[in-house]
Amino acid sequence: MVDERTRQALDRLGNASARVRIALVAPGGYGKTALLDEIRADDVTVVDDAHLLDDAALRPLLNERRVVVAYRPWPRSQVLSELARTGTVLSLHPFTKDQVREYLPGANRAVVDFVHAQTGGVPRFVERLGATTEVTADMIAAFRHDIEWLDADMQKFLLAAEAGVGLRLDLLSGLLGKDVDAVSDLIEEGRATGLLAEDGTLHPIVAQAVAALSRTERRIAVRQRLAELQLERGGPVLELVQPLLGNGGLPAAVLQAAAREALPVDPALSARLLSAAAGGGTPEPEVAARWATAAAMSGDLDAALRLADQVISGSETPHRRTAAEVAAVALAHRGQLARSTELFRWASTPYAQAFAGIGLIGTGRLVTENPPQPPTLLGGAADLMLRGIQQSVTGAETAALSTLVRASGLLEPAGGAVLLPDSPAALAALVAVHCGEPGVAESVLDRAVETGTGGVLMAVRHRLLQAWLHMQRGNLAVAREYLMAVRGAFEPRDWIFAVALEVGIARRNSDLATLRRTWEQACEAVLRHPVDLFSFLPLGEFAAAAARLRDQDRLQPHLTEAAEVLRQLGNPPLWATTLHWSLLHAAIIDEHPERAEQHAAALAENRSHNRYCAIISSAAESWLDVVAGKVDADQVEEAARGLHATGQWWDAARLAGQAAIRTSDRQAMVRLLDCARLLQGRPATTRRTPDNEVSVVVEDTGKLSDREREVAQLVLEGMTYKQVGDRLFISAKTVEHHMARMRQRLGSTSRSDLLAQLRQIVGG
């Protein structure tokens, strides 16, 4: 597989009268020998591997009239240079992808791409690999001869190239003990073997072979020496050190330098490197503080707290404050906001003071001071986070949301390279939910997930808040998908949200069995997570569930604590409104109208504060009227649409649906049912039936109306008639009528027969 120029030059050998001198020059494995085998002229002198001969052996070739000489470009020879000057020089090149495809007939594009990427197109390596997308041990073993016949310096150089420093003359000079000129010659020799690409890197399959076939102790020694040389020059060492982790023998200084590099991108690896640097003994305070930071960023809060505590309880060093910050962050994630705040205050660094301010407000102590921050991404974000939370409790909700969103954007470039007690995105989402701006919450959370803000330590929190938004909208299946995607060993702050999602989804699905099964977890989650301002959402959800299960006494102390936090902060409308709304529903479920009226009155006090407060207060009044049997369709629809605009789609549809069930005005009932369906994201029907009638009849056997399909689907999912009715805003009796009508029309002889037919029709 040669180019046209090479083919023409070789064809000239067929002319016996022509004087021909051809020099075939290419690295090893490029096909020189195969090309010489094609020469059939008897009067042509053919010499292969001429680079292995000395000038004395090569000099007679200068007198030959017809000669073809094949050799590598290194080592250089005076005779071969003269021969090339007086003859035709032909250079062989690696295969292109098209040539690989031609060499491997029948290979598809994926195979061709893989083979070319692994071999660099070197013909010998293409032949060894064949048409495959897997490098086997036998293929690697085929390189043993190529590597073992090389001298010690070349093998050491190949190991350096495998480590990624193939053209670093300064490092290679120190490694090999040679001057730069000698190293350059060695690189040329490496290229001539064909094992090395032009840019000084090993072809991928060669790199695997060098790593696998070289002696382990030599490979470790080369990387260790390169790491030491790189550290002396202040360069990166992580790529050199990482493959050796666990083999021992690396200097502590090298391991610590590698750990610093790994921390922003792989904190778990950073922690392992620092563990190795400690050598199994008690680490120095500096190493322990860094190790605690890495452990916390990787999500290992047990190790982070243990290491941080060692430093804090030790002798006075500058690293005690760092350790205190790490411990404070860990405790914040464990729901211990008050203790976390104490540690931040003790650390007294600028960042720590800002986070302490947030913690103080979260536990009911208003802070008005803003400590100056350094001009860094984290400093700017910490300052904005504190200001945003301050604004959220002083009545400036719009400003608070804007400030926190800006804080989140400011921290996006840092990604997971920062250790945070809470992320600005999470705080912005909480504020957005509490003031009826779900779109803002969704946007800021999406960005935080995309950029990895806060790393693995914040990832679960962001996902759980995304699930919460879907639950509020009534997208219960999607909410459960988000929840299931982060199942695992939750830290207490994440666990209380996760359990609240389980409870909330079960309650909205009228799934009493799951609600009962999850309730014990909910009670434990509340016990493990002291009440703070940022846990009001799950607390409100638990209040509604407690009322449903008639177990309010176990939750009451925590609700009292929440009320005290609000009182100490002056009952800020943003945080008070959502909690009172949840407690209103708990009172309605508990059939306790006096308590419900108290919460409605509390909501009414803030009615004029902003649009969201007005919407919630209006919806509260509508609920009380509906429960009392007074249904004003205009008022209910306006209140329901207001709730929908604030992201509370499920509550909106529920209000309209319950009003429809309770009104005796058929026209109002149809209108409110249509409203409920639209707010739930389902199309309104063109024809409605009253609650005590059967749905529109569809005459074709085996066909169901839209409403019958809905009923059938929910029954097949295992819901009771009562649960189906709650979901569809109809009575259990109407569900029973639907099932009876379907059984009659389908000719089912029993309930099991009916369910079997419905599975076929509906696809259950």
CATH of the domain at 65: 3.40.50.300
Considering 205, 237, 255, which residue would you say is the last residue of a domain?
A: 255
91: helix, coil or strand?
Answer: strand
Specify whether 130 is located in the same domain as 205. Answer: yes
CATH number at residue 755: 1.10.10.10
Residue 178 pLDDT: 93
8 A C-beta contact, residue 283 and residue 314: no
Residue 476 within a domain: no
> Phi and psi for 364 in degrees, rounded to 5?
95, 20
8 A C-beta contact, residue 402 and residue 380: no
8 A C-beta contact, residue 356 and residue 422: no
- At 242, list the tokens: 């990482």
Amino acid at 517: R
Specify whether 250 is located in the same domain as 107. Answer: yes
Specify whether 324 is located in the same domain as 206. Answer: no
Specify whether 662 is located in the same domain as 707. Answer: no
Specify whether 132 is located in the same domain as 246. Answer: yes
Residue 651 pLDDT: 92
Specify whether 78 is located in the same domain as 47. Answer: yes
- At 223, list the tokens: 């990387």
Listed as ranges, residues in the chain with pLDDT below 50 are: 685-702, 764
Residue 386 within a domain: no
| Cα–Cα dist 657/462, whole Å | 32
Q: What is the DSSP string of 16-72?
A: TTS-EEEEEE--TTSSHHHHHTT---TT-EEESSGGGS-HHHHGGGGG-SEEEEEE-
Residue 12 pLDDT: 83
pTM of the predicted structure, to 2 decimals: 0.78
Specify whether 144 is located in the same domain as 235. Answer: yes
Specify whether 68 is located in the same domain as 103. Answer: no
Residue 276 within a domain: no
Specify whether 683 is located in the same domain as 702. Answer: no
Specify whether 214 is located in the same domain as 347. Answer: no
Burial class (CB in 10 A: 0-12, 13-18, 19+), 629: exposed
Specify whether 75 is located in the same domain as 105. Answer: no
- At 119, list the tokens: 């071999």
Residue 488 within a domain: no
Specify whether 115 is located in the same domain as 207. Answer: yes
8 A C-beta contact, residue 421 and residue 460: no
| Domain, as residue range, for 731 | 698-762
Among positive and negative, which fits the CA dihedral 269, 274, 280, 283? negative
Considering 358, 382, 401, which residue would you say is the last residue of a domain?
A: 358
| Cα–Cα dist 282/106, whole Å | 61
8 A C-beta contact, residue 581 and residue 540: yes
Instruction: Give the model confidence (pLDDT) of 379-417 as tens digits.
Output: 999 999 999 999 999 989 999 999 999 999 999 999 999
Residue 689 pLDDT: 42
Residue 652 within a domain: yes
Q: For the chain, how big is the Rg over CA atoms in Å?
A: 38
C-alpha dist (Å) from residue 60 to 67, 80, 86, 302, 486: 11, 11, 14, 78, 77
| Cα–Cα dist 191/74, whole Å | 8
Residue 472 pLDDT: 92
Preceding amide of 690 cis, omega within 30: no
Residue 224 within a domain: yes
Considering 315, 334, 358, which residue would you say is the last residue of a domain?
A: 358
Strand (E) or helix (H) holding 127: helix 123-129
Q: Apex CA 722: angle with CA 720 and CA 727, to 5°?
A: 95
Residue 53 within a domain: yes
Q: How many domains does the chain have?
A: 5
Nearest CA among 356, 385, 390 for reference residue 575: 390
Contacts of 508 (CB under 8 A, 6+ apart): 471, 474, 476, 650
Residue 429 within a domain: no
